[in-house]
Structure formats: structure tokens, C-alpha cells
């Protein structure tokens, strides 16, 4: 029996020579990159570089013209566990009259799991409260979504993405159209989540200041007009710890079985 | 019964900015009903068939003209009216009265029609009830719905089919030209009143049901056209709500 090592370098997203063209125009050609567990990837590029296109392909809203995308090791067409992914789209023009409360919007993040009509369970409401609390917008729960400011709405959408406790969070320019101060606190929150939760981040952003401040001055890799800034999160240390824990567990099991054998 | 189902489907259409889809499908249903009379049987079935066909055609066209969804509606609507006009002319010898399709012919309701209405009502309630959360998400944010793994195209077809069903049973009561009022005006009322999605669902059902009952009573007492009266009651309710809101906001 061999002592296996804990697998802590899993690929969360792998993009292999993906190209995308739209009406005979090449938007992306031959892009490859990997996102490992607990990485924080910042995706930067000029307008029209294909950042949003890349994200939309990763979440399955667009199909690559060629190449392959795998999520958690599975080809995207076969991927089923969408509740492991939280996606916060670019701020969309929300109809201010839309009759939905903040709570209803956040609860809608659970929809993939629901099969049958019924009131949400106690557990659902608790999850919703937790997500709202984590974003600091719990006092807005019963407000209509259209009455909120842009920054508040963005927090609500982040709360919706978080309600499933996803292992991968994909953010598309989460702070566009939000004032500087709110942006700061939003990034602060995201950094905190990255450092303290077992979550992988992929974020498109215009905010070079934030990206460079957290992910380093130079892009780790480039592909066409896309620049990838990466921060690995205590990965090596984690791996050592995980391997150690794994070996210890194995050892204990062996000792236990040896005892029983006597 | 149509006081419940039509507004219930209507709210989803309105919120998805597809108010006109109801109008289009009802015109297709008029063509179908007309064909039914020319052939001599099953006008409601033909109406249903036509509006189903139209709803699939709309979904197809909607994909080809993604950002101009209303274009597909205009095409199908004019196509349907063209068909209806041809069927009307064909049926003139059969003493077919175009008016009754356009404005309703409640006094010719048969037991079969009532059963059809009952069946459709039950089906709509079950399906909408069962998929309420999914329908909400798809209405609120179609992309998020797709990312959370919801079968979006299946839902779109479902909404279209339900709309077609509701229209073809409502057509006998309010008439082809007025069905869309029953779909949209209750939703318009609820947008003014409701804070939450739950409230808006409750509002549309109450408004729709009240209007249908009140409209039928008034029409019965003064011997007016049923469909037209229902629609006018709906509009009166909308105006009252607008007025009430203005007064409230002025006082507050």
C-alpha cells in the first residue's frame, strides 16, 4: 500500500488552444491557460481583447469555435455541477421596476437544485441570510432590487453567487460604474474571501491598481491581447499541510489495524 | 378561470419584455379558429395548433434576430392576419361572422369549451407552480439562469406553449383582439403595486379575476359585449391604481 499524496494542485479551469470567431472576425485565437485550485487570476486586456468572451465561454454561454475547455476536469458540454460555480456578470441594466426583493434575488441562486415547487426551506433562508450578512447588506433584504444603488446591487449579485458556497467564483468587471470608495471595500471583501475561504477566483477587471496591488506588477502570462495576473494562495504551504495530514491519517489507520491484528 | 391563468402567464411575458407575444399568438389563434370554421370543426383545437406553431416560429426567429426580438413578432402577426383574412373570405358562404372571433362570442360557449378551460387552468397552475423558481430566475436574469444549469431553451418553449394554450381558451370569451389585454394589464397593475415577486404574482391573479367577474356581471346586466367590458374594467382598475399612487406619493 502506498501513501498517496493529497491532491492539491487540481485544475479548476483548463483552457486548451481555444479560438473564438464572431462573424468571420477572430476574437480569440489559440488561447491556453490553466487555473489551479485557490488561485486568484486577474484577467486584463484592452477593450475588444476578448475578456468577456473568454469568461462567457468558461461558463458555457458561448461555444468556442475550436479548442477545449474543461471545468473541474470535465469537458464543459458534460459539466453538470453548476452550483459549484458562482458567476457575477457585468453589471446589467436592471429594470428598476422589476418586482423582486433582494432576498428573492439571492435565493434564486439556489434554483439549479430545486426540483419541486414549495416554499424555500428554513435552511435556504439561513443560507440567504448568511450570504447577505457576508456582503454586509443584510438590512436591505426586503427592499426591491431596483431601489438599490449600483454598489449595493453588485453586492447582492455577489451574495447570490455565494449562496451555493461555490468553489469557483467568476467575476466580470464587478466594479464598473461604482464609485471609488465602494470599489475599495468591494475588493477588500473579495481579497478577504480569497485568503480565508477555499475558493478559486477568476476576475476580469479594469482596475490596474487593485490587480497589481494584489496580484503583482507583471502578468504571469499573456495570450494575444489578454494578460493573466496570478496569485497562488498559500498553495505550497497548504500542500505540505495537506500531505502531512494525509500521511498522519494513513499512519493512524495502519496502527489501528495493526492493533486489531494482535 | 381565464381570470387566473391569463394574467399569471402574462406577468412572465411582460417582465421578459415580450408583452407583444400575447398579441401575436392571439392573432395566430384567430387564423386557426377561422380555419376551423372553414373546415367545419374544432375551431378551438385549430386555434391552439396555430398559436403553438406561431410560438415555435417566434422562438426560431428570435434566435436569428437576437437583439430585435420584436421583429419576429411583427412578422408572425402580419402573417397570421393575412391567413385569417383569407379564411374569412373563404368562409363567407358559411355565414361566418368575423366579429365573433375578433371580439369574443361568449354566448356560444359549450360544455366542451368549459372542460377545455378547466383542463388548461389546472395544467397552467401545476406547471407554473412546479417551475416557479426557475421561471423567476429566467425572467429576472436569463444568463444567470443558464449558468446555474437551467435548461433555458426548454423553459422558453414552455412559456410559449403555455401562452398559446391560455390564448386559445380565452379567445371565445374576450375575443382575439382583446386577449392580450388580459395578459398584460394585470401585470401592469402589479408593477405599480408589488415590491416582491410573490406579491406581484398574487396581485395579477386578484386583478385578473376581479376584472373578469366584474366585467361579466356588468356586461350581463347592461347587455354589453363581454370581452370589451372586461378589458375596460381592467383599464379602469389600472387608472385607479395610478391615481391612488399619485395621491399617496403626494401626501407622503
Distance CA B180, CA B26 (A): 7
Q: What is the pLDDT of residue B107?
A: 65
CB proximity under 8 Å: A 34-73 to B = 59-61
Q: What is the pLDDT of residue B238?
A: 92
Cell (9 digits) for A8: 492539491
Is pLDDT at A169 greater than 80 in this prediction? Answer: yes
Is pLDDT at A4 greater than 50 in this prediction? Answer: no
Q: Which residues of A touch B147 (CB under 8 A)?
A: 59-61, 82, 85, 87
Is pLDDT at A86 greater than 60 in this prediction? Answer: yes
pLDDT range class, residue A2, cuts 50, 70, 90: very low
The predicted model gives B82-108 an average pLDDT of 70
Distance CA B36, CA B241 (A): 40
Please tell me the pTM assigned to this model. Answer: 0.77
Q: Give percent above pLDDT 70 in chain B.
A: 88
Q: What is the pLDDT of residues A103-119, one digit of tens each?
A: 888 888 887 655 545 56
Are B145 and B152 in contact, with CB atoms under 8 Å apart? yes
Q: Which of A171-180, B42-51, B88-97, B110-119 has the lowest mean pLDDT?
A: B88-97
Gap between the terminal Cα atoms of chain B: 38
Question: What rounded mean pLDDT belongs to chain A?
Answer: 78
Beta-strand (E) ranges in chain A?
Answer: 11-22, 25-36, 40-44, 66-71, 74-75, 85-88, 168-172, 200-204, 221-223, 226-231
Q: What is the pLDDT of residues B47-87, one digit of tens each?
A: 888 888 888 888 788 777 767 767 888 888 888 888 888 88
Is pLDDT at A5 greater than 50 in this prediction? Answer: no
CB proximity under 8 Å: B 129-158 to A = 129-134, 136-137, 140-141, 143-150
Q: What is the pLDDT of residues B178-200, one digit of tens each?
A: 888 888 888 888 888 888 888 88
Is pLDDT at A236 greater than 60 in this prediction? Answer: no
Is pLDDT at A201 greater than 70 in this prediction? Answer: yes
Cell (9 digits) for A142: 426586503
Nearest neighbour of A99 by CB, restricted to B130, B133, B200: B200
pLDDT range class, residue B235, cuts 50, 70, 90: very high
Q: What is the pLDDT of residues A122-158, one digit of tens each?
A: 788 888 888 888 777 888 888 888 888 877 888 888 8
In chain B, the residue whose alpha carbon lies closest to the alpha carbon of A106 is: B137
pLDDT range class, residue B1, cuts 50, 70, 90: low
Q: What is the pLDDT of residue B151?
A: 81
Amino acid at each position: 500500500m502506498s501513501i498517496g499524496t493529497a491532491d492539491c494542485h487540481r485544475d479548476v479551469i483548463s483552457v486548451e488552444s481555444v479560438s473564438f470567431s464572431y462573424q468571420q472576425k477572430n476574437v480569440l485565437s489559440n488561447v491556453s491557460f490553466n487555473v489551479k485550485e485557490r488561485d486568484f487570476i486577474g484577467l486584463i486586456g484592452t477593450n475588444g481583447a476578448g475578456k468577456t468572451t473568454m469568461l462567457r465561454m468558461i461558463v458555457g454561454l458561448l461555444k468556442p469555435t475550436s479548442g477545449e475547455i474543461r471545468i473541474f476536469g470535465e469537458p464543459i458540454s458534460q459539466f453538470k455541477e453548476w452550483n459549484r460555480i458562482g458567476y457575477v456578470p457585468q453589471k446589467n441594466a436592471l429594470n428598476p421596476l422589476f418586482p423582486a426583493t433582494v432576498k428573492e434575488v439571492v435565493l434564486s441562486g439556489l434554483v439549479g437544485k430545486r426540483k419541486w415547487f414549495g416554499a424555500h426551506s428554513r435552511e435556504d433562508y439561513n443560507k440567504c441570510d448568511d450570504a447577505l450578512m457576508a456582503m454586509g447588506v443584510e438590512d436591505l433584504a426586503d427592499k426591491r432590487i431596483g431601489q438599490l444603488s449600483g454598489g449595493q446591487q453588485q453586492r447582492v449579485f455577489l451574495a447570490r453567487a455565494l449562496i451555493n458556497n461555490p468553489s469557483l467564483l467568476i467575476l466580470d468587471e464587478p466594479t464598473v460604474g461604482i464609485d471609488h470608495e465602494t470599489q475599495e471595500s468591494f475588493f477588500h471583501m473579495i481579497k478577504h474571501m480569497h485568503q480565508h475561504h477555499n475558493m478559486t477566483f477568476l476576475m476580469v477587471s479594469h482596475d490596474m491598481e487593485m490587480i497589481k496591488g494584489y496580484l503583482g506588477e507583471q502578468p504571469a502570462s499573456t495570450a494575444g491581447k489578454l494578460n493573466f495576473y496570478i496569485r497562488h494562495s498559500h498553495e505550497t504551504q497548504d500542500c505540505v499541510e495537506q500531505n502531512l495530514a494525509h500521511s498522519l491519517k494513513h499512519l493512524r489507520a495502519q496502527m489501528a489495524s495493526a492493533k486489531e491484528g494482535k | 378561470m381565464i381570470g387566473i391563468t391569463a394574467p399569471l402567464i402574462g406577468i412572465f411575458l411582460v417582465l421578459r419584455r415580450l408583452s407583444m407575444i400575447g398579441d401575436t399568438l392571439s392573432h395566430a389563434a384567430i387564423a386557426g379558429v377561422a380555419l376551423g370554421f372553414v373546415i367545419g370543426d374544432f375551431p378551438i383545437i385549430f386555434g391552439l395548433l396555430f398559436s403553438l406553431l406561431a410560438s415555435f416560429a417566434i422562438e426560431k426567429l428570435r434566435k436569428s434576430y437576437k437583439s430585435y426580438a420584436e421583429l419576429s413578432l411583427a412578422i408572425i402577426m402580419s402573417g397570421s392576419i393575412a391567413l385569417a383574412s383569407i379564411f374569412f373570405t373563404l368562409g363567407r358562404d358559411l355565414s361566418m361572422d368575423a366579429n365573433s372571433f375578433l371580439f369574443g362570442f361568449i354566448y356560444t360557449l359549450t360544455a366542451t369549451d368549459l372542460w377545455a378551460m378547466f383542463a388548461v387552468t389546472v395544467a397552467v397552475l401545476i406547471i407554473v407552480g412546479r417551475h416557479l423558481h426557475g421561471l423567476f430566475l429566467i425572467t429576472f436574469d436569463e444568463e444567470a439562469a443558464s449558468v446555474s444549469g437551467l435548461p433555458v431553451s426548454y423553459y422558453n418553449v414552455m412559456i410559449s406553449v403555455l401562452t398559446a394554450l391560455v390564448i386559445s381558451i380565452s379567445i371565445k370569451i374576450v375575443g382575439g383582439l382583446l386577449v392580450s389585454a388580459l395578459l398584460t394589464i394585470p401585470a401592469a397593475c402589479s408593477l405599480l403595486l408589488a415590491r416582491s415577486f410573490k406579491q406581484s404574482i398574487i396581485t395579477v391573479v386578484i386583478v385578473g379575476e376581479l376584472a373578469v367577474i366584474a366585467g361579466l356581471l356588468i356586461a350581463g346586466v347592461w347587455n354589453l359585449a363581454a370581452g370589451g367590458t372586461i378589458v375596460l374594467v381592467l383599464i379602469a382598475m389600472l387608472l385607479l391604481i395610478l391615481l391612488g399612487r399619485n395621491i399617496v406619493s403626494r401626501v407622503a
